[in-house]
């Protein structure tokens, strides 16, 4: 059993940090971004497939094309 304190300065914890748009791993598209750069406004939304929180189905984001989408990443805390 071991653990260590990780002493790092805190930054704004709730704001929308621009750098946070290092979003979505497997990017591809008209303006392909690598992971370190992240997806930006003007990029294709990188595709992602995940289960719903009730485990009853999965959704693949690319299947939603043809409709306008608001994607909200959050946590209940």
Partner 1 sequence: MPVWHEKTRALRESGELIVIGITQEQHPDRCRLFAQWQEFDWPILWDPFNLSGAKVVPLIMAVDEYGIIRATRLHPDRFEEQFMARVFDAPGPAPEAAPRVRRGLSAADASPVDHALARILFEGMEHIDETVHALEASAAETASAETQFRLGVAYRLRYDSALTRPDDFQAALDAWGRALAEDPNQYIWRRRIQQYGPRLDKPYPFYDWIAKATAEISERGESPQPVLVTLTESEVADPRRKPLPWHEHEEPPDPKHRITRDRGGLVTIESAAAPHTGSTPLGQAAPIRVHLALRPDADRDVHWSNDAGPLVVWATVPKGWEIVHNLYTLTPGEDAAETSSEVRRLDFEVVPPLGYTGSGRVRGYALYYVCEGESGECVYRRSDFSVDIEAGTR
How far apart, in Å, are the Cα atoms of 32 and each of 19, 27, 40, 67, 74?
A: 17, 6, 10, 22, 25
Instruction: Count interface residues toward partner 1 (CB under 8 A).
Output: 66
Tokens 């409709």 belong to 67
State which of positions 10-69 bind partner 1 (CB under 8 A). 10-11, 13-17, 19-30, 32, 35, 38-45, 47-55, 58-62, 64-69
Q: Write down the least CB distance from residue 42 to partner 1, Å.
A: 7
Q: Applying CB under 8 A, which residues contact partner 1?
A: 1-11, 13-17, 19-30, 32, 35, 38-45, 47-55, 58-62, 64-77
């Amino acid at each position: 059993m071991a653990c260590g304190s990780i002493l790092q300065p805190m930054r704004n914890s709730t704001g929308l940090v621009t750098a946070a748009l290092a979003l979505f791993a497997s990017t591809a598209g008209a303006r392909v971004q690598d992971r370190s750069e992240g997806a930006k406004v003007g990029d294709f939304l990188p595709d992602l497939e995940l289960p719903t929180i009730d485990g009853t189905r999965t959704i693949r984001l690319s299947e939603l094309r043809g409709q306008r989408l608001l994607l909200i990443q959050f946590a209940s805390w």
